[in-house]
A and B are shown apart, each in its own frame.
Chain A
Amino acid sequence: MKVSYNELQALCRKAFQAMGFEEGDASDAADMVAWMQLYELSGLTALGRGLDFLLEDQDERAPELIYSDGDLAVLDSHGASVLKSSSLALELGFAKARARGLAVIKIRHCHNRQLIMGYLARLAGRGMNVTAFWRNAQAPDSGKMNDTPLIEQVVGFRAGSSVPEIRVYAVHEVPEENEPNDGVTLIMANHVDLLPSLRSEYQLDLLARHQESDLLACRERAMQQGIEVDEGLWVRLKSLATRLLVESTETSRSGAGAGSNDND
């Protein structure tokens, strides 16, 4: 089914609120999902994959600041989704980069990392060059020849741009040290571009490449034709959103202040 961008944002915000997100986190998370979907980057698929996790996640711990100095910070999300935990980490990086010219932020132990892109777009809109890097889940027995390769993803926003350059590629030469990595590393620079450009001397298979112009075309398509969403997920989000609604009674009906008869 097709929906509008505004509709998608609004429903996601209500669904996140219904899941217990604070007001600000709910609107940030909704913006992140809707942004991904607007640019045909499968935001709702990612949300659909993480929805059960979000609903079951009862860990109320806020992201913990483990280390911080003038231009570097490390935070632990304690396994939370980036939808819930990343915005303030990113704002911290933004503040440091504004003060120091460049900042590096590492968010450890987080889920749904690709959804972080929507918030990066916001920072770029505020004049920051941003690059995010993460490795996807490791294949079993990684490091052996012919195994599922290690996949890395780099997303770079030019300051002022609403869309990123994205590169997703497989690395064949897996290093010896290959700890499981469920974090995301971000570099923010006030004054210089950090767009990804792949190096040719490594054996890399480019799996996906999204250029700024492709993404702008996606946006235009969405505005003209609406945004395709999975009907099952849409119904589920709607059902979640009803948790915010208050049961109707005769007293509450009069609470709207309207009359009961308009046959005049």
Chain B
Amino acid sequence: MRREDLASRLSDIEQRLRLRSPDEVMQLERLGSLHASRLSFVRSLVRQMARQRWQISTIRFDLDAEGHGIAIYRLQTPWARYHGVIFSQPLDDAARSDRVIAEAWDATFGVVEGDVDDSLLDHMAANVPLQEAGRQHPRLLVLSRANRSLRNFAAFLDALSAGRQPDPTWLTRVGYLYRTTAVYGNGKFGIADFDRLKHNPDFQRPFSAQMLAVYLLRHFSIEQIEHMARAKAPGRAVAMATPLRRYLGIGNSTGLGMAPFLINHPQLIQRWIESREQALAQVSGQVPGEPDRQRLLTLIARAEQHMAQTVTEDTKQSARNRDTASALPAVRAWLEQVPLTDELWQELIDWSRQTLSLEAQELIHTLLLEIYPKIVDPFEDRMGVKESLELTPDMPLIRLKQSIETHYDWALRHDFEDPDERYWFWYRSMEKEEPRLGVRDVEPGADRELKLAIAARVADTHKVIDDFLTTHPRALVVEFLIHHPRHKDIIRRIQSMAETPFGEIRANLWARDMKPVHILRTKLSFFGASRFDPKSDRWVRITLFQGAPLVEELNAKPCDLIEFDDWSFPLEPSQSAEGTLSEAGAVTRQYAGVST
């Protein structure tokens, strides 16, 4: 019997009893400490691609010596056919910006449902490079753009064209040749609504089409740099070695623009966090065997090395990485010393909570999820939801007040009269609607504030309800709203979210000490980001798909899907004295003999 077949699902009641409290989970700093896990969207996509034998082929690759031109990739799934169309064009250094206010990029691309005929290609060629300024075709599922990492590009081109492998430390410092600066889905600028995909088994999970676009760009980046090396030095250039190709990801540069999404989609966030927490609750109740303990120890060792190889100039994040990496030997020692009890995983979680930093705690959770695929992976199908915030107009107002005090008590703990608790306001700028933060009473624009500070709004509504109840103690919610209609949307949100405790980030987004980068990391961890590299407390670069299987490995229809899926926390390939690169850190291969 395979080891994982010994795992069994806990009952719903036991799962509920083991769930962590939302007060703990939904704290902003903890959310900002999450790591990618096997439930992250890039991992789910790669598993799905392998399981269903998706095939990717190049149907056009017209690039000049500088790598400029058009590439088209075909994706065939059992269900349908799609195409990734990439436009690569010259870009002045002066125009290269990762911000949304940029107007040109090194590469722009889209994923199309169905075939690409000449007319669609003409339309795309005229509009995709313009991104937001274009009018995009409704068959585009994803619209995106990316800029080159100039240093890595130059280093890789020099090495490959000189007939040698690039030094892998380049990718340890910055794990990609391209970084995306926006990956649009769901109807933006005329592309297809997400609703179009609701019966499409390939991309009905949130952000799976966007992740595919990024995966195709990664493949393009490999093919493009090899093409450029061949053009520069025909006969001498070499292809990139497989371990290095694997170690190459795609970067992403993210700013405040991501923050409103998490506030404006509480039901979706609820599904993501709740699924992760339910999976963790399930895992915490599994009775471990010695092979499970050994596998976790190996994963911790790999993560430790990965953290030690994670480079950032940000001093705070560097310190957090160091803390995490330096705590892991103690975790391994603890695991090796304690007896193998039935409650070992719960004991590990409890011990971690008492002794480790938030990032280290969440890393342990991520690694625990890793060792129980049969328990955890079904949760990936629960990540989507049909969003709808609705009123319950016939609810007695007193019950709504009680509900706020029970489920939104965290929102009532702040003193919004305190200038430090109402310091920031969020707004959109005239410049391409870029979201920004301003200082209240100092900078202009507070009159056009984005209503993202849910805590402040709930507290305001609670106060008005309290006053109303003194004169209308038996009122219904709808009667209150007829007198105070401005509270309609926040009451709708409270009523819809009260019973779903993992949807609201429990923080005051006005507070002077609030760090938006935590909000960004929350979402990026669900995407599957690694190597968090904050450029400020509002701006972060990350890497996606580093270590992921390659297109050629996917096309070869892998037999061992567990091994194919084993690419979290990738390590720098090791280089022999002769310069030969070899992959480091595969866990499943080491433990392939464990299953019986």
What total count of A-B pairs have CB within 8 Å?
Answer: 165
With contacts A256-B434, A257-B516, A258-B538 known, is A99 near B448, CB below 8 A?
A: no
Query: Contacting B99 at CB < 8 Å: which of A2, A4, A252, A256?
Result: A256
Question: Which A110-148 residues have a C-beta within 8 angstroms of B?
Answer: 122, 125-126
The prevalent SS among residues of A at the interface is helix
Query: Contacting B138 at CB < 8 Å: which of A23, A95, A224?
Result: A224
Q: Which residue of the partner chain B has the closest CB to A251?
A: B443
Contact between B476 and A95 (Cβ–Cβ < 8 Å)?
Answer: yes
The answer to whether B444 has its CB under 8 Å from any CB of chain A is: yes
Q: Shortest distance in angstroms between A155's beta carbon and chain B's nearest beta carbon?
A: 20
With contacts A3-B190, A65-B482 known, is A259 near B428, CB below 8 A?
A: no
The answer to whether B217 has its CB under 8 Å from any CB of chain A is: no
With contacts A7-B188, A246-B430, A257-B539 known, is A24 near B476, CB below 8 A?
A: no
Set of chain B residues within 8 Å of A208, measured between Cβ atoms: none
The answer to whether A91 has its CB under 8 Å from any CB of chain B is: yes
Distance A262 CA – B145 CA, assembled complex (angstroms)? 14
The answer to whether A88 has its CB under 8 Å from any CB of chain B is: yes
**Using a Cβ–Cβ cut-off of 8 Å, how many residues does chain B contribute to the interface with A?**
66
With contacts A4-B138, A244-B428, A262-B147 known, is A252 near B488, CB below 8 A?
A: no
Q: Shortest distance in angstroms between A242's beta carbon and chain B's nearest beta carbon?
A: 7
Question: Which A1-24 residues have a C-beta within 8 angstroms of B?
Answer: 1-7, 22-24
With contacts A94-B394, A255-B438 known, is A4 near B256, CB below 8 A?
A: no
Query: Contacting B489 at CB < 8 Å: which of A4, A27, A99?
Result: A27
Query: Contacting A4 at CB < 8 Å: which of B190, B429, B536?
Result: B190
The answer to whether A247 has its CB under 8 Å from any CB of chain B is: yes
Set of chain A residues within 8 Å of B388, measured between Cβ atoms: 125
Contact between A25 and B485 (Cβ–Cβ < 8 Å)?
Answer: yes
Set of chain B residues within 8 Å of A63, measured between Cβ atoms: 482
Query: Contacting A257 at CB < 8 Å: which of B138, B194, B428, B536?
Result: B536
With contacts A246-B444, A257-B537, A262-B96 known, is A95 near B478, CB below 8 A?
A: yes
The answer to whether B420 has its CB under 8 Å from any CB of chain A is: no
Set of chain B residues within 8 Å of A7, measured between Cβ atoms: 187-190
Q: Which residue of the partner chain B has the closest CB to A63?
A: B482
Contact between B485 and A62 (Cβ–Cβ < 8 Å)?
Answer: yes
The answer to whether A79 has its CB under 8 Å from any CB of chain B is: no
Set of chain B residues within 8 Å of A88, measured between Cβ atoms: 478, 481-482, 485, 488
Query: Contacting B486 at CB < 8 Å: which of A22, A225, A251?
Result: A22
Query: Contacting B478 at CB < 8 Å: which of A92, A224, A244, A248?
Result: A92
Contact between B489 and A264 (Cβ–Cβ < 8 Å)?
Answer: no
Contact between A256 and B444 (Cβ–Cβ < 8 Å)?
Answer: no
The answer to whether B535 has its CB under 8 Å from any CB of chain A is: yes
Distance A4 CA – B189 CA, assembled complex (angstroms)? 8
Question: Which B430-489 residues have a C-beta within 8 angstroms of A?
Answer: 430-431, 433-438, 443-445, 448, 451, 476, 478-479, 481-483, 485-489
The answer to whether A101 has its CB under 8 Å from any CB of chain B is: no
Q: Shortest distance in angstroms between B46's beta carbon and chain A's nearest beta carbon?
A: 27
The answer to whether B241 has its CB under 8 Å from any CB of chain A is: no
Contact between B443 and A2 (Cβ–Cβ < 8 Å)?
Answer: no
Give the one of A1, A23, A87 with max B CB within 10 A: A23
Question: Which A123-180 residues have a C-beta within 8 angstroms of B?
Answer: 125-126
Set of chain A residues within 8 Å of B448, measured between Cβ atoms: 243-246
The answer to whether B390 has its CB under 8 Å from any CB of chain A is: yes
Distance A12 CA – B451 CA, assembled complex (angstroms)? 17
Set of chain B residues within 8 Å of A91, measured between Cβ atoms: 391, 393, 478, 481
Q: Shortest distance in angstroms between A94's beta carbon and chain B's nearest beta carbon?
A: 6
Contact between B93 and A263 (Cβ–Cβ < 8 Å)?
Answer: yes
Contact between B539 and A259 (Cβ–Cβ < 8 Å)?
Answer: yes
Measured as residues with beta carbon below 8 angstroms from the partner, the interface class of chain A is 35 or more
With contacts A245-B428, A255-B437 known, is A5 near B193, CB below 8 A?
A: yes
Set of chain B residues within 8 Å of A4, measured between Cβ atoms: 138, 186-188, 190-193
The answer to whether B427 has its CB under 8 Å from any CB of chain A is: yes
The answer to whether A223 has its CB under 8 Å from any CB of chain B is: yes
Contact between B253 and A246 (Cβ–Cβ < 8 Å)?
Answer: no
Contact between B253 and A1 (Cβ–Cβ < 8 Å)?
Answer: no
Contact between A263 and B150 (Cβ–Cβ < 8 Å)?
Answer: yes
Query: Contacting B256 at CB < 8 Å: which of A3, A87, A125, A257?
Result: A257
Set of chain A residues within 8 Å of B98, measured between Cβ atoms: 258, 262
The answer to whether B353 has its CB under 8 Å from any CB of chain A is: no
Q: Shortest distance in angstroms between B511's beta carbon and chain A's nearest beta carbon?
A: 16
Q: Which residue of the partner chain A has the closest CB to B390?
A: A126
Q: Which residue of the partner chain A has the closest CB to B516?
A: A257
Set of chain A residues within 8 Å of B253, measured between Cβ atoms: 262
Set of chain A residues within 8 Å of B483, measured between Cβ atoms: 62
Q: Which residue of the partner chain A has the closest CB to B136?
A: A4
Q: Shortest distance in angstroms between A16's beta carbon and chain B's nearest beta carbon?
A: 12
Distance A43 CA – B89 CA, assembled complex (angstroms)? 41
Distance A88 CA – B482 CA, assembled complex (angstroms)? 6
Query: Contacting A245 at CB < 8 Å: which of B433, B485, B537?
Result: B433
Q: Which residue of the partner chain A has the closest CB to B102?
A: A262
Query: Contacting B427 at CB < 8 Å: which of A122, A125, A246?
Result: A246
Give the one of B151, B390, B448, B488 with max A CB within 10 A: B488
Contact between A259 and B535 (Cβ–Cβ < 8 Å)?
Answer: yes
Distance A246 CA – B431 CA, assembled complex (angstroms)? 9
Set of chain B residues within 8 Å of A223, measured between Cβ atoms: 192-193, 195-196
Contact between A94 and B489 (Cβ–Cβ < 8 Å)?
Answer: no
The answer to whether A236 has its CB under 8 Å from any CB of chain B is: no
Distance A146 CA – B489 CA, assembled complex (angstroms)? 49
Residue-wise, chain B 485-524 has the 8 Å CB interface mask toward A (1 for contact) of: 1111110100000000000000000000000100000000
Q: Which residues does B use to contact A, with CB under 8 Å?
A: 93, 96-99, 135, 138, 147, 149-151, 174, 186-196, 253, 255-256, 388, 390-391, 393-394, 427-431, 433-438, 443-445, 448, 451, 476, 478-479, 481-483, 485-490, 492, 516, 535-539
Listed A/B pairs (17) with beta-carbon separation below 8 Å: A3-B190, A4-B193, A6-B193, A23-B486, A24-B485, A88-B488, A95-B476, A223-B195, A224-B196, A226-B190, A246-B438, A247-B429, A247-B430, A256-B434, A258-B98, A258-B539, A262-B96
Q: A6-B193, A22-B485 are in contact. List 17 more A-B contacts (CB 8 A).
A: A4-B188, A6-B187, A7-B188, A24-B488, A24-B490, A88-B488, A91-B481, A223-B195, A224-B196, A245-B429, A246-B428, A246-B430, A255-B436, A256-B436, A256-B437, A257-B255, A263-B150
**Which 9 pairs, one residue from A and one from B, show the smallest C-beta to C-beta distance?**
A257-B538, A4-B187, A6-B187, A24-B489, A246-B445, A24-B488, A95-B394, A255-B436, A91-B393
